């Protein structure tokens, strides 16, 4: 299915922006990190010369979704360092006790805590005040310096992968709060983090799974353009990873996806939880339903004004003209621009 994007307007204070990029800078990566299978294309961004930019793939075997064509890792390292959340100004540091109150019941004593993607340090403050040794890593130079002013010298500016590869410490607790969906290979990052856990240590993950987008108003158009969101795991792929890493699930919520795990066997009074209970494997039909709903293809044709649609998501207004296929199949979706560059949504 072809979607011709005619205009894209964002609110003045939108912290995301639609940037131009060159097709020649993109790299292809079509294999699933979870099971090694070839991935199916579900969306692509194309310009008037037929040059492709961001391409998103879906694994039909484990449900893992990722960008199978994107700007290279070095480009993102620079982006997260210099430009990450550059439109978010006057952000104050206030104590955030959510993770402290959730995780301290699973800890035995006060040890080392690592926040991967610590931002401005809000979630580490209650741990520090309670006497824990706190550490943080944040790729944004501006945000990590803000955190260091409050929390001290144990805050570093780096990617999570680089920090873990060089860190000499092990930790009693490591958490990644809304981080792994911004990484190229979350399976690798999580494996590296578990290696730095002490025996019986705790790791906590909050993440955006692809399944969470199926029910939300984020919209397939925005989802397909959002290059900084690079990976969307599935419960099925995570369950296999947890087993491979010898992790026991102690706490789990489906929406938002939050899971707390202990390295090795649980302690005497802890009961393991299965995250596969009631989990539904994402299928191509689910993706097609998401596309049709958020591109408003379920509306009668007479209401679509000859294929034109106005899509409104998060203070962004996108005008598109949709050309449906004769066989009524919507995947893959090609978002086409009358430009020589290819757009990509950044944050």
Find residue 52's DSSP bridge partners: 46
Locate the DSSP E strands across 179-276: 197-207, 231-232, 247-253, 257-263
Q: What is the pLDDT of residue 248?
A: 95
Q: Provide the whole-model pTM.
A: 0.93
C-alpha distance from residue 204 to each of 134, 246, 260 (Å): 15, 14, 4
Asked if the model's pLDDT at residue 324 lies above 80, the reply is: no
SS3 content of the chain, % helix, strand, coil (to 5): 25, 30, 40
Q: What is the pLDDT of residue 172?
A: 97
Helix (H, G, I), strand (E, B) or coil at 3: strand
User: Among 17-31, 192-206, 211-225, 242-256, where is mean pLDDT lowest?
Assistant: 211-225
Q: What is the distance, to the nearest Å, from the Cα of residue 110 to the centroid of all Cα atoms in its chain?
A: 30
Domains of the chain: 2-79+283-346 (no CATH), 98-263 (3.40.50.150)
Which contacts of 241-244 are long-range, i.e. CB under 8 A and separated by 24 or more positions?
241/34, 241/187, 241/190, 241/191, 242/275
Q: What is the pLDDT of residue 91?
A: 73
Cα separation, 44 vs 114, in Å, equals 37
Q: What is the pLDDT of residue 114?
A: 98
C-alpha distance from residue 51 to each of 22, 85, 221, 332, 339 (Å): 9, 28, 18, 16, 10
Retrieve residue 57's tokens: 């793939």
Cα separation, 151 vs 82, in Å, equals 21
- Contact indicator for 335, 221 with CB cutoff of 8 Å: yes
* Band of pLDDT at residue 311, cut at 50, 70 and 90: confident
Per-residue pLDDT of 156-195, as tens digits, reads 999 999 999 999 999 999 999 999 999 999 999 999 999 9
| Residues 6 or more apart whose Cβ sits within 8 Å of residue 303 | none
User: Among 143-157, 194-208, 308-322, where is mean pLDDT lowest?
Assistant: 308-322
Do you find a cis peptide bond into 328, omega within 30 degrees of 0? no
Retrieve residue 278's tokens: 């009631």
DSSP 8-state code for residue 38 = B
Q: What is the pLDDT of residue 276?
A: 78
- Contact indicator for 75, 227 with CB cutoff of 8 Å: no
Asked if the model's pLDDT at residue 131 lies above 80, the reply is: yes
User: Among 62-76, 89-103, 246-260, 319-333, where is mean pLDDT lowest?
Assistant: 319-333
| The most confident of 103-107, 264-268, 276-280, by mean pLDDT | 103-107
Query: For the residues 269-282, what does the mean pLDDT come to?
Result: 83
């Amino acid at each position: 299915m072809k979607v011709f994007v005619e205009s894209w307007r964002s609110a003045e204070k939108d912290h995301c922006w639609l940037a131009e990029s060159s097709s020649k800078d993109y790299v292809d990566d079509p294999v699933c990190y979870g099971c090694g299978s070839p991935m199916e294309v579900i969306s692509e961004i194309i310009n008037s010369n037929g040059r492709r930019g961001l391409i998103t793939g879906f694994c039909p075997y484990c449900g893992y979704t990722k960008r199978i064509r994107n700007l290279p890792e070095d480009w993102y390292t620079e982006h997260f360092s210099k430009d990450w959340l550059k439109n978010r100004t006057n952000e104050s540091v206030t104590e955030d006790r959510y993770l402290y109150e959730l995780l301290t019941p699973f800890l035995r004593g006060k040890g080392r805590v690592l926040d991967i993607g610590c931002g401005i340090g809000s979630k580490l403050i209650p741990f520090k005040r309670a006497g824990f040794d706190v550490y943080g890593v944040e790729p944004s130079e501006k945000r990590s310096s803000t955190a260091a002013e409050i929390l001290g010298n144990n805050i570093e500016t780096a990617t999570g992968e680089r920090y873990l590869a060089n860190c000499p410490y092990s930790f009693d607790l490591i958490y990644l709060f809304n981080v792994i969906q911004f990484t190229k290979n979350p399976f690798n990052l999580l494996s590296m983090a578990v290696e730095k856990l002490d025996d019986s240590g705790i790791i906590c993950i909050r993440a955006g799974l692809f399944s969470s987008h199926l029910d939300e108003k984020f919209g397939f158009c925005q989802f397909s353009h959002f290059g900084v969101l690079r990976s969307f795991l599935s419960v099925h792929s995570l369950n296999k990873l947890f087993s491979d890493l010898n992790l026991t699930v102690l706490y789990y919520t489906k929406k938002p996806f939050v899971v707390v795990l202990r390295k090795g066997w649980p302690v005497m009074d802890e009961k393991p939880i299965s995250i596969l209970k009631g989990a539904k494997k994402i299928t191509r039909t689910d993706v097609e339903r998401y596309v049709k709903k958020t591109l408003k293809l379920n509306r009668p044709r007479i209401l679509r004004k000859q294929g034109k649609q106005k899509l409104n998501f998060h203070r962004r207004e996108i005008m598109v003209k949709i050309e449906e296929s004769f066989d009524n199949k919507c995947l893959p979706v090609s978002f086409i621009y009358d430009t020589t560059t290819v757009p990509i949504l950044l944050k």
